[in-house]
Amino acid sequence: MDTLMSVVTEDVTAVSPVGPIEGAQAFRAFWANFGRMFSRIDLVGAYGDD
């Protein structure tokens, strides 16, 4: 979880199977539950302004 959160900003906005997620705290809460289904996650790409 710490590795995932290291690339997330406080103002993150994401679309999930349960609806929109806004903010790092909500993003962490979503992945804390949803991520339990996975044994491994690989970052394939990241797109943004930086």
Beta carbons of 14 and 27 less than 8 angstroms apart = yes
- Angstrom distance (rounded) from CA 27 to CA 20: 10
Confidence grade of residue 50 (pLDDT, cut at 50, 70, 90) = low
**Domain residue extents for the chain:** 2-37
Answer whether residue 5 shows pLDDT above 80: yes
Please give the Cα distance from 27 to 32 (Å, whole number).
9
For residue range 14-36, what is the model confidence (pLDDT) as tens digits? 998 889 999 999 999 998 888 88
- What pLDDT was estimated at residue 9? 92
